[in-house]
Each structure stands twice: as structure tokens, then as C-alpha cells.
Amino acid sequence: MLGVADSLVERLAHGQDRHGQRWDLHLPGEGESTAQIRPLLFLLGLPTFGLALAISVLTTFGPVILIRLVQSPASVGALIGAEGAFALVVPIAAGSLSDRLSPSPLGRRLPFVLAGAPLACTGLAVLPFSRSTGVAAVAVLAFFVGYYTYYPPYRALYADLLPRRLYARAQAGQAIARGIGLGVALLVGGLLLGEWEPFPFLIAAATLAVTTLALLPVFRLQARCKDSVLPYEPASLRTILRRRPSLRRFSVVNALWEFSFAGLKSFIVLYIVRGLGRSPAVASAVIAVVAVAYVVGAPLAGRLADRYGLVRVLRVSSLFYGAGLLVGVLPHSLAPLLIGLPFVALAGAIVLTLPQALAFTLAPAGSEGAAAGLLDFSRGIGVVLGPVVVGAAVGVFAPVFDSTAGYAVMWPVIGIPVLLAGMLLKTLEEGRAEPIPPRSGGSGLV
């Protein structure tokens, strides 16, 4: 089966476009556009789809499994928030080590991908069959350790293989894959959950395994390159943070965004099902609107960033997104919520698309793995607090927001940090004077 999947990926890497013109997988040369390296971007983006599908299924539908075991929204938030505890350690270690790993037949990044994927798939497959809190906690632990071992080194591949001028556009493509994964998880997952609860978890695990195979031709191409030893000059994380204050500020901003995203993902289904009294299928259909906006907003984010700059686009989008989240506290039924949802989700899509590109431009050349790990470290701070704070707020403010069983308090709890992030980005925009050395296509690989 692995051989068949690998053969299919190879055929995708060496095929034809819609005009019948043949294109081949290759590393980018000087001056090449995103269109000319589309096969590389396509294969690089496929694991993003698998990872997004996997984490969306676990964080969105995992609470539906966990609520029966722990009988408390706060406890559900604590279990899902455990993700962030591992995001405080695992991604920094994986990202930094992948920068420093000695060259081998597997390269620097692939060993971490091969170690993380089986753990994440196993955690997904075991969770829906858990009959005790202990087994469920171990399954969640296995997933997130595997996820964060895999993700930072994988994300650093973009910086390894692409020139800096293509970062924003490449992240737009990655964001589209992430949005499709999110949409499939929410729309199809909700329907499958009603048929048989393990279905979405098992499908997500299988998808992650298959999409990981898409990286094999990329690693083979990298290994065949005549200059296959990448010109890494990695610095320690302490050195990076000392020399790049803008990267420190951005880590705080990213933590605030992730606090909001994690709180929203963990409780949006419960808000619609328990707060508004609608079915899981309706919840999936409503949230699918967010995924559509995400796919639409991702390429728009890349174009806006090219024209107006990464920091400015992120700042304006963050302010609009945060304000839109605050308004969500007012409706007590589904219909008013749907009116502004596409516009707010579009701003949220831009906020979700561009942080990685900005982190890579702020990081010193050769330390992109550490930068990706730092991004996930700051993500972990937000993720560990977001579900816990929202879950606790639901319990405390249930009498105040009695029409939604307390779940409407989610909106101000997740909206205020996003507004604060937009305000902090103003200082980043004003203080960003650090030189960013030019980087040729392919990081010297071509």
C-alpha cells in the first residue's frame, strides 16, 4: 500500500498542467515565480492538509468524547489545553535540533517527521475508543507530542527550499491546504460523528499518514542536489531572542492569537450544540463557512502582504477580527451570528495565514527551525490557557449568560486578546529596523 501511495505522489510531482504543458518537481532558481515551482509547493502543502485535518478533528470533536468522561467543561478545557504544555517544550527542541542535526541520508528534517507521524496517528485512533480519563489523556498526549515533533521541522522546509520573497505567497498556499483540512474536518467530521464516533478520528489518522508520504519526493530531490549540505549557521534560541527583540514581541502577539483560536476551536461546537440548542450537523455546516472564508482569505493575505507589508496587514486584520469576535456576545440565536460570520472569518483567515512568514523573516538565516519551534512555543502558551480560561468562564458566568448556558462568554474572552495583539503589532511595525539579509532561491541548493 505504501508503494502504491508513493508511486501516486511521484506521478503528481511529474505531470502536466491544465494546458498540457509538462512540469517537473525542482528546487527554485533565482527569479522563479510561484507558478514555476507549483509542483514543489503542492507537495510541500499536502502534509499541512493532513495535519490541519488531524488537529481540527481532535480539538473540535475530542471535547464531545471527553465531556462524557469528565462531565465538566473546565476539565475538558484542561485536557485539550494539555496540548500547550507540550508545545512549551517539544517544538523548540524539535525545531532547534533539526537545524543542528548532522547531515544524513534522511536529511535534517525528515527524522522528526518520521518520528512524529506515527505518534500523532496512534493518538487519534485510540481517543474515540477510550473508556477512561487516563486512556483518553494518554491518547491526547501521544497525539500532541507527535504533532509537535513533526510540525516545526516540517515548517522549516519552506525556509530551507524557498527564497524569502516567496514566503508570503507560499504561506498562502499552505493556508489554503490548512483551510481545506479544517473545512473537511468540521463539515464531514460532524456528519460522520453522528454515524459512528470513531469515524472522523480514524479517517484523520489515515489522511495524516498518506499526506506525509508526499514529502518523500521532496526529500529525495533535496538529497540528489549537488549542494545537498545546507548552509546552516544555527544560533541558540537564547542568542536569537537576545539579538532579535522584534521576534520576542512577535512571540507575545502570536500567543495572544493562539489563545483566542484555541478557545474558539475547543468550545465552538459546544456553544452551538449546548448554548444554542442546535445539532452537531448544524454546527458543522455553520463552521464550514469559516473554512470557506479561510480558503478565500489565504491567497488574499499573500497578495496584501506583498503590497502593504506583513506587519501592517496582520495589524489591521487583527483589529477587525477582534472587534468582530466581541460582537458575537450579543446574539442569542443562530441567524444573527451568520450575518457577520463570513467577514469576521475572512479577517481571521488573514491572521492565521501570515505569522509563519513573518517569523521566518525576523529570524536569522540558518535558524528557521528554531524560529518555527519558537512560533509553536508561543502557540503553546496560548493553547494551554485558551481552553482552560474559556471553560472556567463558561462555568462562572453561566447565570449571567443563561440564554446560552454560559457559552456566550466565550466571545469576549477570545476577542479581547486579539484586539490586544493588534495594538502590540503597532510597536512591532514601528520598531522593526533589524536588517534582513537577502536570500537567494533555494537557500543555496540550486
What ranges in 71-101 are assigned the alpha helix state H?
73-87, 90-100
Tell me the mean pLDDT in the region 96-107: 68
% of the chain beyond a pLDDT of 90: 15
Confidence (pLDDT) at 4: 45
Please give the average per-residue pLDDT across 84-112, as a whole number. Answer: 72
How confident is residue 108, by pLDDT bands cut at 50, 70 and 90?
A: confident
Burial class (CB in 10 A: 0-12, 13-18, 19+), 387: buried
Residue 187 pLDDT > 90: no
Is pLDDT of 34 > 80? no
Cα angle 283-287-291, degrees, rounded to a multiple of 5: 155
Rounded to the nearest angstrom, the gap between the alpha carbon of residue 300 and the centroid of all alpha carbons in its chain is 18
- DSSP letter, residue 14: E
What mean pLDDT comes out for the span 130-144? 86
Higher pLDDT, 248 or 29: 248
> Rounded mean pLDDT of 236-254?
75
Calculate the average pLDDT of the chain: 77
**pLDDT band of 119, cuts 50, 70, 90:** very high
Confidence (pLDDT) at 153? 85
Confidence grade of residue 293 (pLDDT, cut at 50, 70, 90): confident
User: Does the structure show a pLDDT above 70 at 233?
Assistant: no
Average confidence (pLDDT) over 55-84 = 76
Determine the pLDDT at residue 21.
45
C-alpha distance from residue 203 to each of 53, 286, 287 (Å): 9, 21, 19
Residue 367, helix vs strand vs coil: coil
Q: Check if the beta carbon of residue 196 is closer than 8 Å to that of residue 312.
A: no
Q: How confident is the model over 401-440, as pLDDT tens digits?
A: 888 888 889 999 999 999 999 998 887 765 443 444 444 4
More confident call, 134 vs 49: 49
Burial 168-198 (b: 16+ CB within 10 A, else e): bbbbbbbbbbbbbbbbbbbbbbbebbeeeeb
Confidence band for 212, pLDDT divided at 50, 70 and 90: very high
Name all domains of the chain by residue range, CATH numbers in brackets.
39-431 (1.20.1250.20)
Q: Rounded mean pLDDT of 56-67?
A: 82
- Of the candidates 38, 21, 49, 34, the one whose C-alpha atom is nearest the C-alpha of residue 294 is 49
pLDDT value at 230 more than 60: no
Q: Is the pLDDT of residue 62 over 60?
A: yes
Residue 329 is predicted with a pLDDT of 87
- Say whether pLDDT at 235 is over 90: no
pTM beyond 0.85, yes or no:
no
pLDDT at 202: 93
- pLDDT at 366 (0 to 100): 60
Residue 398's φ and ψ, nearest 5 degrees, are -55, -40
Q: How far apart are CA 308 and CA 304, in angstroms?
A: 6
Determine the average pLDDT of the residues in 142-160. Answer: 85
Work out the pLDDT band at 103, boundaries 50, 70, 90. Answer: low
CB burial of 224-235 (b: ≥16 within 10 Å; e: otherwise) equals ebeeeebebebb
CA pair distance 335, 64, nearest whole angstrom = 24
Percent of the chain with pLDDT over 70: 76
Residue 146's pLDDT is what? 92
Average confidence (pLDDT) over 393-399? 88
Average pLDDT over residues 390-394: 89
Q: What does the pLDDT read at residue 321? A: 94
pLDDT reading at 442 higher than 50: no
pLDDT of residue 268: 83
Q: What is the pLDDT of residues 254-273, one digit of tens each?
A: 999 999 988 887 788 888 88
